[in-house]
Amino acid sequence: MSPRIPGFDYQRVRVADDVSLNVAVAGSGSPIVLLHGFPQTHLMWRHVAADLAADHTVICPDLRGYGDSDKPLDTDGQTYSKRTMAADIVAVAKAFGFDRFALAGHDRGALVAIRAGLDHPETVTHLASLDVVPLLDTWDVMRGVSAAVGYHLYLMAQPPGLPERMIAATADEFFGSFLDQWTRDPEAIPADIRAAYLAASRAAVPSIVADYRASANIDVDHDTVDRAAGNTLRMPVTVLQQDWGAALGYDAKGIWQAWAPDLDHRTVTCGHFMAEESPAEIIGAIRELVQR
């Protein structure tokens, strides 16, 4: 059995006719939904979730295609669109009786959170994004030699077949390389949690690739429509990022201001896996956000 967050109950929540998500939930009070990143599961929130559950209902799903959630076959290029995945999260919250909730996401989960905020502004009350810029801007800023850090984005954007075979052939090395390279404190991801991440990712290669492939296709289309229409995130937004702007030569805060008029943008000194490396900082930021 995969590790669990102590004190949390686990349920399977149906979000579509053929898709159920694995969801950990605990606490009571105003709801906060936490969405994990790559190559992780809901376990990345274990420290943050335990603290927030003292006075909030905390809901931690595995995204569709990840962890112990269902992994439907992508037949039309939309199965893993961020729009579809965001609708999953709205359905999860509704299953627990919440029509409105605060939402925090890291990495892939942050992209789902952004889409949820754009598509469901009446539902998402507050939004926290950890270590991404919106997808449309991601492709704009990934250029030059420094952008080699994002090589996996281009690999998984390729047509079905080759990326899945290449990654499956060296799954533990592939997924483990990100856990190694993107953290500044290796002890933040202990051996049992690392093993759980690798096992979950190894079992989900096709769906993980489909998620990334959508981000080079239909997700860009959705963002392009929103940008042309002038749609923005209407709720208070907190962004925590490493100093990617300095590394890749772009104005991260400026990019975010175009999408989020009510913005609190912060640069962190920890690595990419900030909810595990610097949980107190993330807890404080989320608590401040939901008070705005």
- Residues catalogued as catalytic: 107, 272
DSSP run (H or E) holding 106? strand 101-106
Please, which residues bridge with residue 101 across strands? Answer: 124
Residues 6+ apart with CB under 8 A from 280: none
Residues 6+ apart with CB under 8 A from 165: none
Alpha carbons 143 and 67: distance in angstroms, whole number:
31
Phi, psi dihedral angles at 126 (to 5 degrees):
-145, 150
Which DSSP string corresponds to 256-286?
HHHH-SSEEEEE-SS-S-HHHHSHHHHHHHH
Tokens (6 digits) for 228: 């042309």
Residue partners of 273: CB distance under 8 A and separation at least 6: 37, 40, 44, 106, 179, 182, 183, 188, 189
**Tokens matching residue 169:** 């052939």
Length of the chain: 292
Parallel, antiparallel, or unpaired: how do β-strands 101-106 and 57-61 relate? unpaired
C-alpha distances out from residue 102 to 32, 39, 52, 197, 220, Å: 5, 23, 12, 26, 24
